[in-house]
Amino acid sequence: MAEIRLTKVEQGQTKIRNVPIAVTPEGFWCCPSPVMFQKTLKAQHPLNKPKSSSSPPTKTPTDQKKHSSELDKKPSRSSSKSETQTVVPDDQRKNGFEPPVVLAASVVGERTAVRPNTENLPRKVSIEFGEPGTGDLKVVLKGRQGFTVKLSVHKTVLQENSSFFAEKLLAQHPSFHCIEVDDCEDVETYVETVGLMYCKELKQRLIKQSVSRVLRILKVAEVLGFKTCIESCLEFLEAVPWVGEEEEERVVSSILHLKHESTGVNPILKRVSSDVSKPQKDTLSHVLHLVLKSTEEKGRREMKTVVSKLLRENNKSTTSVDLHDTIYTSCKASLTALLLLFRQLASPEFVAQPPEIKDPAVKQMVLESDNLSWLLDILADRNSADEFAVMWAGQQELAGLHCRVPLVNRYHVSCITARLFVGIGRGEVLPCKDTRHLLLKTWLQPLIDDYRWLQHGCKSFDRKVVEEGIGRTILTLPLEDQQIILLGWLSSFLKLGDNCPNLQKAFEVWWRRTFVRPYVES
């Protein structure tokens, strides 16, 4: 890894401190942050430590001998202190791997007058690219809080890779040797991007980098007009996995404006948008069909939860897909299958059948009932369950067969009725008066018959919520209909007690409306 060397010049003495944060293991330039630079300056200017002597320390003959023997043991290096050679194994050379460009850098801490607070010292960094002493252009980056970076670069490299620098150099006098960039927001990334102009294989340098870091490089490359770097960043973003929705949104928002300028944007956007002409409605219909037909309990239960959540989010979005017809087609199919199964289970011949014939039919009946309950939940969330109430209220044959099916199997159907009453009571379902009256007339008594089992055999059953929904549904009817239904309920409640829905609140409201404060005189 290349090094940045911080130099402090005193009287007749040069003290070198290596700061190994100039280049990351992947080969990126990593300009020392103001904090790191500040720590280095603090270490060189201790407040409570006396100044060292200006004369260099003398070495004894023994020390010189040891130093000479140590140098003989070490491999020979280039005479330039700012060069770092990278050794590449032969096997990597055979595979076409080229050694990374060596970027030599030096950080110079300028000596200033002694101040009581070292945090106020100016911070200046000098970085030299390529072979030492060959740069013919200075680029000065002025960052925040007085942090300045001076880059020693080559005009030909910048002209070939950056339209920004090419225009700047073209507009200046041939003897012009310095370009200043004021208010540089991200000095470190700016230095990295300039360093990438000296690299042949940009894609190799981006591997294993974070998405956020590459997005910062892409932003600077756009400002500099560094097209090769832009394309390499886009290739990286297309291939690397994105972690989380936040990172996905950050990537998409960072490249959308390049859609008409670079062909590398479209492959990235295909992750989040599709060009297929097949409507999304067909895909969602297929998903619903797979969940409804599944017979694996655990997977089916989990995917019902996931699909319900995603459909709820889809309903809130501006690009929601209308699933009304698709869902009601599935409802009608499940309702038809449920009626056929009830006819089979209610027949006298079926009772005498062996378990291997009865059990599959019972399991399928439970499955279709569960499908209808789930679809009703989806419709209620989308405020589209009115038509379902009409369909369910018109199932007189199914309600008539209800009492002929064993209680342990039929109570799943009563869960559908209870869910409808809860929806009407909450205002989620708003069927017309005739539908509400027919629904109570058809399904309230079967619900009362199964109420004891619902309380003890159904974990998701909430008695208070269901009773409140039934009572509110009754109170939406004309007063005469309220009276007929509540007097019928009273007869059942006095016989069954706790095994019957407790509609006392609705009964009290009806009583007050009838006897205490009638709003219309007879």
Please calculate the CA angle 457-459-464 and round it to the nearest 5 degrees. Answer: 100
pLDDT at 40: 42
pLDDT of residue 330: 93
Please tell me the predicted confidence (pLDDT) of residue 324. Answer: 86
Query: What is the enclosing helix (H) or strand (E) of 6?
Result: strand 4-10
Say if CB 152 and CB 126 are below 8 A apart. Answer: yes
Question: Edge-to-edge, what's the strand order for the sheet holding 123-128?
Answer: 13-19, 4-10, 105-108, 123-128, 147-153, 137-142, 178-181
The predicted pLDDT at position 520 comes to: 62
Beta bridge pairs of residue 105: 4, 127
**Quick one: pLDDT at residue 276?**
56
Other C-beta atoms lying within 10 Å of the C-beta of residue 430: 14
Q: Are 133 and 106 in contact (CB under 8 A)?
A: no
In degrees and rounded to multiples of 5, residue 143 shows phi and psi of -90, -165
Cβ pair 162, 224 in contact under 8 A: yes
pLDDT at residue 298, as a whole number? 92
pTM for the whole thing? 0.60
- The Cα 178–Cα 254 span in angstroms is 31
Listing DSSP states for 84-118 in one string gives ------HHHHHTT--PPPP--EEEE-------S-G
The structure tokens listed for 5 are 């060397």
| Angle, helices 407-426/355-381, rounded to nearest 10 degrees | 0
pLDDT along the chain (522 residues), means of 10: 37 34 38 44 44 44 46 40 35 37 37 40 74 84 81 88 87 74 86 90 85 92 91 89 88 85 81 66 85 91 92 69 85 95 90 86 93 94 93 95 89 94 93 95 95 86 94 95 96 93 95 81 56
Please report, as a single letter, which amino acid is at residue 321. Answer: V
